[in-house]
Amino acid sequence: MVDVDWYVEDDQPKYRFIVDKEKASLNGVSAEQVAATLRMALDGMSVGLLHQPTEKEDVVIFLRLPPDERSSVEDLKQIKVVGQRGNLLALGELVQMEKMIADKSIYHKNLMPVVYVTGDVAGQEESPLYAIMKMDRVLDQLKLLKATDSKGGYPSTVFHSEVCHEVGWGMAYLLRGLPGPWPCLCRGAHF
């Protein structure tokens, strides 16, 4: 097996800007104005169309800060917003920044959470089927510690291997919270 990987994501930082409503209101800036300024700086905004007489389609004029001015939190804090009195204020004066961990993707199969493990076959065996069958035999020999739940002693973790045929042969190892075993399925056929 080569290129073995899994769908578990690393922690990714997420920054949340919280508007200090007292400071913002004293300077005549609304929370919506701060949010719109950040959205335009990061995502950009369509500000109009360019009509060329020799072109069949109009060209969208898209306004956004260059990458070097929006690539760090400190850069975003330096963006200016206009108050009601015409004064320019840096966003850093009006917001507090909170660093958090972004939510991770949760994959499901048959309404149960799963972690997918992927890999390719290399070497003398060209068909993934032979490698999958060998891996199935090895997995059958693994002894897993099974914890019991508080409601009836069912195993809380069970390994199950399943052979799938989607874009090519694939192997999905499902970590399930229900007692097994489950049949291996490939387009409805039992193996």
Tell me what pLDDT residue 85 has. 80
Q: What is the 3-state secondary structure (H, E, C) of 30-88?
A: CHHHHHHHHHHHHHCEEEEEECCCCCCCCEEEEECCCHHHCCCHHHHHCCEEECCCCCE
How far is residue 186 CA from its own chain's centroid?
28
Structural tokens at position 74:
């400190």
List the pLDDT tens digit at each of the 191 positions of the chain.
Answer: 788 888 989 999 999 999 999 988 888 899 999 998 899 888 998 999 999 888 899 989 998 888 888 888 899 999 999 888 888 889 999 999 999 999 999 998 888 888 888 877 787 777 777 777 777 777 777 655 444 444 444 444 444 444 443 333 334 444 333 334 434 433 333 33
Residue 19's pLDDT is 93
Contact 60, 46 (CB under 8 A): yes
Place of tokens 């097994």: 180
pLDDT (0 to 100) of residue 112: 87
Cα atoms in the Cβ-side hemisphere of radius 13 Å centred on 143: 0
Structural domain boundaries in the chain: 13-101, 106-190
Q: Does domain 13-101 have CATH number 3.30.2090.10?
A: yes
Please return the burial class of 76, using the count of CB atoms within 10 Å of its CB with bins 0-12, 13-18 and 19+. buried
Question: Read out DSSP for 128-187?
Answer: HHHHHHHHHHHHHH------B-TTT--BS-EEEEEEEESSSEEEEEEEESS------EET
pLDDT at 116: 85
- On whether the pTM is more than 0.85, the answer is no
State the pLDDT at residue 142.
67
